Chains A and B, each alone.
Chain A
């Protein structure tokens, strides 16, 4: 399977190799890097990992904040639509429900999953993984939780949902009176907390802590 010829540098046994680049497969030593700096693949430039101070604690704090704002995002309307003295408003899950009841159920499921279920699950998984770790306990099914979390991440599209709300707002403003409801602020805060949670999550640290606890 492999071609002939010498390897570029030494051989794998006498080099402390810990990491393969996820995008080009090049092996890297697990060098120590300064906190706040990222490490990049020297061949293709992919991010290998981010060095973070108190990564897990910060991620946990952001995830808890995100959960609180998620709840706040559900109590008031997102937008309010006014026309000739009539009012109508929408809440977080209403878009998905409207798709479901209008016969476009695959779109209903997609929107429900991408804008509500996946962001909520991502935040819950982060808390249920990191909270026990903080108190030196093993989370339940940690491997499964982490794998599900990583697989869900691209489908949690709350940040894109926010842009969708803004486009809808601009489109309607041409045509009628539209007001912004309190939930929009909640959703924007929830999205920011979720993005920050992922930015501060250092996967190496996460696995290191888990493996220490398993010993």
Chain B
């Protein structure tokens, strides 16, 4: 016989996601209970977590292609245009010897989005197949993904600074490119994907439950 851990779910309680208050499940009979402390609507687990995470991840993966193919910005100086993609921008930083900044941007713009998509896909699959391997490590992986995701916005902010700053008519101007739009969408979609994922499902599976809601 399996020993069940004393979780809120097993004790018939729901933890409010917003204020962490424990709510007695029998207390309210409505489908959508409301937290008595902060008025947020509460549910035992995030609703439709795995499907929503999948949908957001697939959209992010699709948009990752134009984000890297199209230029994120164009520098026009003395009538000469030079288009820059995410990768060519990083390359240029390396070439000019700014390798600290180059590594920061390489991590934020290339590694982090790919890492997030792979890590979240792995987590979702691990729940689909009922994996019991290293739940602590997988929870830690999720925590890291959730923490690091926002930092991919560095490039978008960098472009916003350049287009506002470099506007000396014929001498030099910077314009944003379509790649920036796709890249921002990738960042936002992966942020929503990690928000949609419910790490408590990792632990539910250890007890042999199969409803992923």
Contact = CB atoms under 8 A, between A and B. Distances in A.
Nearest to B167: A88
A215 interface: no
A75 interface: no
Contacts of B59: none
Q: How large is the interface on A (under 10, 10 to 19, 20 to 34, 35 or more residues)?
A: 35 or more
A168 B22 contact: no
Interface residues of B, number: 76
Contacts of B176: 98-99, 102, 104, 107
A61 B88 CA distance: 44
B4 A95 contact: no
Given A79-B165, A83-B168, A102-B175, A164 B37 contact: no
A24 B199 contact: yes
Contacts of B98: 170-171, 174
Interface of B: 1-13, 15, 17-22, 37-40, 77, 89, 92-93, 96, 98, 101, 104-105, 108, 135-136, 139-140, 142-143, 150-151, 153-158, 160-168, 171-172, 175-176, 180-181, 184, 188, 191, 195, 199-200, 202-204, 207-209, 211
Interface of A: 1-12, 15, 17-20, 22-27, 43-46, 78-79, 81, 83-84, 86, 88-91, 94-99, 102, 104, 106-107, 110-111, 114-115, 143-144, 146-147, 150-151, 154, 157, 160-161, 163-168, 170-172, 174-176, 203, 207, 211
